[in-house]
Structure 1
């Protein structure tokens, strides 16, 4: 990342416009980092994001709620000819995790750069007038960040414009009811929308952005073998666990797996679309916020057994990587004071104490067509197309859940 004295490490605070905000989000332009997500519930304040106390700690505490590089997860190192819509390029992922493995876009990913916040959302190039209107009315506390990734950066072809929307939405509706009969209140939502477009003609590039009922088989280096495996009856079948807890049947090495979602009842908006479809009246931001449209279906959920908090996730992505913080080295990291740490380096989070969900397309999808899932998307973006990826996180509070739960 940049120099710690860089002003991009100064948090931008987003809060819901009410007298008692239930959500508040701190965003760092450095690495487009979600530094803190405060939730007020039952008279308590929680921060449901792990990470260092000091924003500059993200320089060394890599991929803790930061954006990644052009391609999420692991790709094999090498030189690959790629083609889409008759356009040809060559991509050469660079090693960082291992001599044969390129992780999250290479040695210097998007997390290592400051992102430009746009004071006026109407200056965004990849959001339509209808979407800007929705942002101003339904996401009054939001911001769009921009970055240009140059042609050849980390071995990826094409000059790429990326714009990312980060915003908070007000709670909607009255209390719902959980399967065990408890009441549940929505406290608001966090919406992330990633858009990208190649600025060069006749280029194609892999793209798979994220914020760090089948699973993909991985080799010993965490690379896709190109085989889909059923999860039924395995430790991956989280819905089958009697307790509902991740720790039940917890594998010795923890989780670092990619799960492909089953086909949804209503197909969500695609990740890749012709730029000509981004018409002024198109409003995919509104669709992402709607709970009764194509984006309504909750594809994953994380709940605390003691706090009463639950986060439900909706997305247009075909799968999710679940990582249980296996490689954390407490002696090299820092833990926030609100999580019982000192905030100092050397007092970090032990392995297995956090859950990371990274919503994106399958690993190396253009190499392994058989793993692409229901959408069949190859994660290649050609000139004249727009990349569109959204994740909506709905925060809920469940009644009657306490320390004895």
Structure 2
């Protein structure tokens, strides 16, 4: 299978409202198609040609082994008495190792798991929820093995990622009564779920994975060519602090309360209401909440009966369905113009919100459905402010803070399994004329 040949995941024919194209190269969400109100939207930015992701990096790809920025150099690490060293390699400026190093997981080929090569990091009980691993399905599991020493990180790390489309259940949102106008009614169109699992062969290593996906809910409209900004998108974020970073965007170990920096208080207002001069590129920590689905768990708990997927893969609004162990939503992104809304939940501590501030329209390519030519470096690429990147992961460089020792330190030992999930419910609200 070519690494640039999209793997199409679709919902059953009874719910054809949602589909995604996944590239094995970088485990990339090349397209996310949403059908609503007689229109087809592609709600993620990016190049037209799948091979464009080679140079247009970090656009809808996985990041790894470690999201965001770590200072270059040798770092001693220890968790539960297990010790090792990380040699973070330079690939930004003069001090920064970005997204796991020069050759991150975004630049590698992920292999799709098949029935001939079954997954090893998901249990029998969990696989019951996945009806097929064939090429025509709404589910896919992909695997990558990162050798010990990869980009300076110790230990061989095996990663398996489940990507799933969950159909809508019984509609729970604002049913119109017979004879009533549907204006203002809201429907659930289905959900996108990804689950990262990782296992280390020996020792200890930092792990902090995320999907670096960038959303625009209006770019596919007929007038999207002239209206690519996300400043009119509404955003809600249940976050109380942002990380204070230095001139190289490295974590200083300090926080800024959003009540003292109101441009970072996202409570349903438009992104552009208090838009910073350079746009958004900040890590937000979610306000304390009860998270019942663990980020990692002992290998001894990994038995055939373990099931951390049932609640995550339950359709929203399914009759009698409760949230179970799922987390409450932490981020909402919506457009009054298109009527589309994304509702995110996760077991991670926060999210990086990046408004595509450093985009260069002279470079790269813009999808044709977004009004671009699709041709690389033609000069009609995406401009700053044209996407809301929402990258859910744990604290920046948490393993370097002694206060996190043996706690939420983003370290993984061979006695543990890493478990990271994000669920995105896709909704449509009929615009009111």
TM-score, normalised by the number of residues in structure 1 = 0.91
Q: Which runs of 5+ in 2 are unaligned?
A: 176-182, 213-239, 315-321
- Select the residue among 369, 373, 389 that pairs with 1:342: 373
**Residues 111-190 of structure 1: matches in 2 within 5 Å?**
111-120=106-115, 123-136=118-131, 141-177=138-174, 182-190=184-192
Q: Verify: 1:83 aligned to 2:78, yes or no.
A: yes
- Select the residue among 351, 362, 367 that pairs with 2:400: 367
**CA distance in 1 between partners of 2:302 and 2:187 (Å):** 35
| Structure 1 residues 191 and 122: CA distance shift in structure 2, 3 A | farther
- Select the residue among 411, 420, 432 that pairs with 1:389: 420
Q: Verify: 1:71 aligned to 2:104, yes or no.
A: no
| Structure 1 residues 355 and 121: CA distance shift in structure 2, 3 A | farther
Q: Which secondary structure state, in structure 1, belongs to the residue aligned with residue 73 of structure 2?
A: coil
Q: Verify: 1:232 aligned to 2:259, yes or no.
A: yes
| Structure 1 residues 361 and 296: CA distance shift in structure 2, 3 A | closer
> Alpha-carbon deviations, 1:156-189, whole Å to 9, x = none?
00000000111111112214149xx943210001
**CA distance in 2 between partners of 1:120 and 1:186 (Å):** 31
**CA distance in 2 between partners of 1:62 and 1:252 (Å):** 24
Tell me the CA shift for residue 294 of structure 1: 2.6
**CA distance in 2 between partners of 1:247 and 1:18 (Å):** 38
**CA distance in 2 between partners of 1:328 and 1:170 (Å):** 34
Q: Contact 2:112–2:142 (CA<8 Å) still a contact in 1?
A: yes
TM-score, normalised by the number of residues in structure 2 = 0.85
> Alpha-carbon deviations, 1:179-214, whole Å to 9, x = none?
xx9432100011100000012x3x100000011111
| 1:278 matched residue in structure 2 | 302
| Structure 1 residues 140 and 121: CA distance shift in structure 2, 3 A | farther
Total equivalences in the alignment: 387
Following TM superposition, the consecutive aligned residue runs of length 4 or more in structure 1 with deviations greater than 4 angstroms are 137-140, 369-372
**CA distance in 1 between partners of 2:147 and 2:83 (Å):** 18
Q: Verify: 1:268 aligned to 2:292, yes or no.
A: yes
**CA distance in 2 between partners of 1:122 and 1:132 (Å):** 14
The structure whose RCO (Cα within 8 Å, separation 6+) is larger is: 2
Tell me the CA shift for residue 99 of structure 1: 1.8
| 2:408 matched residue in structure 1 | 377
| Structure 1 residues 14 and 121: CA distance shift in structure 2, 3 A | farther
Tell me the CA shift for residue 287 of structure 1: 2.7
> Alpha-carbon deviations, 1:243-278, whole Å to 9, x = none?
x111111000111100111111x3231212111112
Q: Which secondary structure state, in structure 2, belongs to the residue aligned with residue 235 of structure 1?
A: helix
Q: Which secondary structure state, in structure 1, belongs to the residue aligned with residue 369 of structure 2?
A: helix
**CA distance in 2 between partners of 1:72 and 1:110 (Å):** 10
**CA distance in 2 between partners of 1:168 and 1:122 (Å):** 22
Tell me the CA shift for residue 19 of structure 1: 4.7
Tell me the CA shift for residue 103 of structure 1: 0.7
Q: Contact 1:175–1:184 (CA<8 Å) still a contact in 2?
A: no
| 1:252 matched residue in structure 2 | 277
| 1:3 matched residue in structure 2 | none
Root-mean-square deviation (CA), in Å? 2.1
**CA distance in 1 between partners of 2:285 and 2:60 (Å):** 22
Q: Which runs of 5+ in 1 are unaligned?
A: 1-5
